[in-house]
Amino acid sequence: LAKTTQPISMDSYEGQEVNITCSHNNIATNDYITWYQQFPSQGPRFIIQGYKTKVTNEVASLFIPADRKSSTLSLPRVSLSDTAVYYCLVGEVDSSYKLIFGSGTRLLVRP
């Protein structure tokens, strides 16, 4: 089971780019890296998923170095509505595909 470590909290301002780094030193060969976003009193929302190098979608980019021991979620030009908890997850290698959430990173975007 690959454990993840990410900062407890981060502050930013509107319009800035935010990079949240996650460490997963024990990631297994078949594991994928997945990021979720959660607003208070709501269920988590899938943001992005990747295996190696770089993945980009309309919401974020995910950078994964060659050794895959860490990953960085990049949010371009954040707004107040991006204030949320962001979770980095590493997928289970067994067949159950259960999501193992850590404590996440609380991002606060200020005006």
Binding site for another protein (CB under 8 A): 32, 34, 41-46, 49, 87, 89, 91, 94-104
Q: What is the distance between the alpha carbons of residues 4 and 22, in angstroms, rounded to a whole number? A: 6
**For residues 13 and 39, which CB has a smaller minimum distance to another protein in the complex?**
39
**For residues 82 and 104, which CB has a smaller minimum distance to another protein in the complex?**
104
CB of 38 to another protein, least distance (A): 8
**For residues 31 and 82, which CB has a smaller minimum distance to another protein in the complex?**
31
CB of 57 to another protein, least distance (A): 11
Residue 21 contacts residue 105 (beta carbons within 8 Å): no
Task: Indicate the helix (H) or strand (E) that contains 86.
Answer: strand 84-90
CB of 81 to another protein, least distance (A): 17
Q: How far is CA 58 from CA 61, 74, 76, in A?
A: 8, 12, 10
Q: How far is CA 74 from CA 21, 29, 81, 94, in A?
A: 9, 23, 16, 28
Q: What is the distance between the alpha carbons of residues 62 and 96, in angstroms, rounded to a whole number? A: 24
CB of 36 to another protein, least distance (A): 8
**For residues 86 and 109, which CB has a smaller minimum distance to another protein in the complex?**
86
